[in-house]
Amino acid sequence: MQLLNSASRHYSWGSRTMIPELIGEPKADRPLAELWYGAHPAAPSTVGEEPLNALIDAAPDTQLGQRVQADFGDRLPFLMKLLAAEEPLSLQAHPSKAQAEEGFARENEQGIDLSASNRNYKDDNHKPELIVALTEFYAMAGFRPLAQTRELFDALDCPDLARYQAMLVEGEDAESDNLRTLFTTWITIPSANRKQLINAIVDAAQKLLENLPADDWKAQVLRTIIDLDERYPDDVGVLGALLLNHIVLQPGEALFLAAGKLHAYVHGMGVEIMANSDNVLRGGLTPKFVDVPELVKVLDYVAIKDPRIHTQTGTSARVENGTCRAYPVPVDDFRLDCLELEANGTAAVAHDGPLVLLNTAGETELTSGENTETLRPGQAVWVPASDGEVTVNATAKSQLFIARA
């Protein structure tokens, strides 16, 4: 077990204050969007001075263990992050495993450099992801059921929108086809027509908001649509955002996004874990490269009623004077548990594969074999598969996330 030094990612949507306040540092001089705890070659964490991916490459059997190697080869299957969004992220989706393998090979054959701005596929892996809120966290996640979208469109009473409402025929069997038809129509209409449509929707939204209760779900959506249009005038992402679930997570709540689910995080800080990938297909709300045809290829148009996931009692740690919550997901690449200990609480974490343990509140002392590390918020340890059980002692009320495959 050794300290794992995170890799910082500075994106324009990040926050100068959220992560610095968590880790006890002054306000950053530029937006700090993410801290990466993992072995992705684009930004590997380090153990001492050695990149984690190089450490794993040198001894995959001891670092990953037999089970993880058998399932995932010589690559750490997950990537954990601290994410802090001051502004909305791009409207995006991630590919399936088969789509990623095909896209990665295709762009390699085309000679597109891995660091090129127009590169879609940075690796050959899928990217299902889970995010657990540390603060109130606002996200747009997955197409909402069409019954709600019809309700929203009817309330807007916008003549420019009426012709597109006709695409939303009744019947659950037609829901995915309806969404596919409407979304692909919107992202391919001429820019002048798109501008007219968005302006009309925003005008109708402003009028409707004058009479909607503040806690009406439609009010939250419309306020966001207006804000997005101010940030990205006439952007096709504004239309896409009109079709998505708008969700506010409270600390400890989580949502899961499978491959192909359109989404954009809007504001807040959380712990994110995903398959070990950096593949993103963008459709708007960003100055970065947007590839609409490729996005359309990977999108899943099945509506989601609610992308939140319900926690279960965690079984990865034996706990005294605290709790362990698990966030179950339908993929094998990662598991995430949240360990919350009262002062002087303890836990024992057994494992047969690698672990990343990330402290997000309080102070914890971790021991494995003869190694002991004290973690403060934002600090993490790497625990190879060959190391023994990890004992956690909380010197104050603490929160620790446990990532494993």
pTM, two decimals, is: 0.95
Percent of the chain residues topping a pLDDT of 90:
93
What gap in Å lies between CA 33 and CA 388, rounded to an integer? 34
pLDDT of residue 341: 97
Query: Do residues 79 and 38 touch, judged by C-beta distance below 8 A?
Result: yes
pLDDT of residue 167: 84
Is 165 exposed, middle or buried, given 0-12, 13-18 or 19+ CB atoms closer than 10 A?
A: middle
Q: For the ranges 166-170, 176-180, 194-198, 353-357, which has the lowest average pLDDT?
A: 166-170
250 assigned binding-site residue: no
Q: Using N-to-C axis directions, what is the helix angle for 191-209 and 146-156, rounded to 10°? A: 80
Catalytic residue among 194, 282, 335, 404: 282
Average pLDDT, the chain: 95
pLDDT of residue 55: 97
Structural domains of the chain, with CATH: 2-140+249-290 (2.60.120.10), 145-245 (no CATH), 312-404 (2.60.120.10)
Closest CA to 249 of 340, 359, 134: 134
Residue whose tokens read 């949502």? 255
pLDDT of residue 315: 81
Is 299 exposed, middle or buried, given 0-12, 13-18 or 19+ CB atoms closer than 10 A?
A: buried
What gap in Å lies between CA 188 and CA 295, rounded to an integer? 12
Pairing of β 129-133 and β 137-143? unpaired
pLDDT tens for 144-165 read: 999 999 999 999 999 999 989 8
Is 236 exposed, middle or buried, given 0-12, 13-18 or 19+ CB atoms closer than 10 A?
A: buried
Average pLDDT, integer, range 123-143: 97
Query: Please, which pLDDT band fits residue 364 given cuts at 50, 70 and 90?
Result: very high
pLDDT tens for 64-90 read: 999 999 999 999 999 999 999 999 999
- Cα 38 from chain centre: 15
State the CB neighbour count (10 A cutoff) for residue 344.
Answer: 13
Query: Please, which pLDDT band fits residue 171 given cuts at 50, 70 and 90?
Result: low
126 assigned binding-site residue: no
pLDDT of residue 166: 84
pLDDT tens for 345-363 read: 999 999 999 999 999 999 9
pLDDT tens for 292-349 read: 889 999 999 999 999 999 999 888 899 999 999 999 999 999 999 999 999 999 999 9
Give the amino acid at 84.
Answer: A
Tally DSSP H helices, then E strands, for the chain: 12, 23
CA atoms within 13 A on the CB side of 141: 25
Residue whose tokens read 């009479």? 211
267 assigned binding-site residue: no
pLDDT of residue 172: 64
pLDDT of residue 114: 92
Give the amino acid at 14.
Answer: G
What gap in Å lies between CA 361 and CA 398, rounded to an integer? 5
381 vs 165, residue with greater confidence = 381
Q: Residue 64: CB partners within 8 Å, gap ≥ 6? A: 56, 72, 74, 76, 353, 354, 384, 385
Does the pLDDT at position 91 exceed 70?
yes
Residue 404 known to be catalytic: no
